[in-house]
Amino acid sequence: MSTAWTIVLIVLCVIAAVLVILYFVGRKMQNRQAEQQAIMDQQKMTVSMLIIDKKKMKIKDANMPKQVEEQLPLYAKFMKFPIVKAKVGPKILTLMAEPQVFEILPVKTECKVVVSGIYITEIKSVRGQAVPKAPVKKGLITKLRDKVKK
């Protein structure tokens, strides 16, 4: 057997081993996500709040509780998260939001939202308005067609 065939077989074995490992890691992470979603569903409650401000920022800069910073994995400490400052009753709280909710959350309006811990998961209603729809993102080709038409 030539060295070329030996190298090809070794590369194929390594690729197969990596795929098997990724399969099992993916299943484990999927199960963990399902458990976390069940916990979030148990703890969710509807709250009325006035949205003061919303930004994408690092957890360290967002004045989140120290416990939240400590529980983040290392790679997430450098990421920016959707952060919402809201007045709930007499308190001003810093909350995190799902990306889809963050996009349509109106600023300086009173909303009823579903909160699970410090995480905003859904908008139920907006005072005096309809719940905004998520903006439709245009793809690259659609943007180019619009430019050509103009």
Distance CA 43, CA 84 (A): 19
pLDDT tens profile 26-69: 999 999 999 988 998 898 999 999 999 999 999 888 888 888 88
- Rg for the chain, CA atoms, rounded: 22
Q: Which CATH architecture has domain 44-126?
A: Beta Barrel (2.40)
Q: What is the DSSP track for 62-96?
A: TT--HHHHHHS-GGGGGS-EEEEEEEETTEEEEEE
Residue ranges of the domains in the chain?
Answer: 1-43, 44-126
Please state, as a whole number, how many other Cβ atoms lie within 10 Å of the Cβ of residue 86: 24
pLDDT tens profile 92-139: 999 999 999 999 898 999 999 999 988 999 898 888 787 777 777 788
